[in-house]
Amino acid sequence: MGNGAAGQVGVVAALVRTAFLVDGVYAEAGRAYGLTPQQGQLLCVLLAQPYGMSELGETLGLAKSSLTGLVDRTVRRGLVRREADPRDGRAVRVGLTDEGAALAGKFYAETCRRVEALPSGLSRVERDRLAVLLSRVVVDNEVPEVFAEVTKVPFSGVD
């Protein structure tokens, strides 16, 4: 079905199929913690810091109504809270609660573990080369940091 020699596919098919693969792992990790993929993304983004609603919508690629619904559902679960923006009294920021931070840290670690296993058939050199090439694609396309580098997450488990 479009596979070339030794199962090799073209760049378009490889990227699309990789996106499906990672989305599936993300959803599976989310199910293990009772999170939808969107809630998992929200929690991972908020690990670094609270965000304003418009900035959060841009980062997650969600329309205002979709983001509001996502935040509302996650607030009801006690995982995030709305807080006044110290720079603009009319604006609201969204941040993690203590419970949300703890769950986000566990979900993040589990997701990293599962995604890290995906290229297990590659050598260290191949994995490093893959990281370089994918990094270029991400940077060239200005992809927001919806999932931080493992060493960059300032998770402390407290608010």
Q: What are the sequence ranges of the domains in the chain? A: 10-151
Instruction: For the chain, list the strands marked E by DSSP.
Output: 51-52, 80-85, 88-96
Note the pTM of the prediction, 2 decimals: 0.81
User: Is the pLDDT reported for residue 158 higher than 50?
Assistant: no
Answer CATH for 10-151 from 2.60.40.10, 1.10.8.60, 1.10.10.10, 3.40.50.300:
1.10.10.10
Q: Mean pLDDT across the stretch 106-128?
A: 94
* Residue 57 DSSP one-character state: H
The Cα 105–Cα 100 span in angstroms is 8
The Cα 41–Cα 25 span in angstroms is 13
* Digit-coded pLDDT (tens) for 8-67: 889 999 999 999 999 999 899 999 999 999 999 999 999 989 999 989 999 998 999 999
The Cα 107–Cα 116 span in angstroms is 14
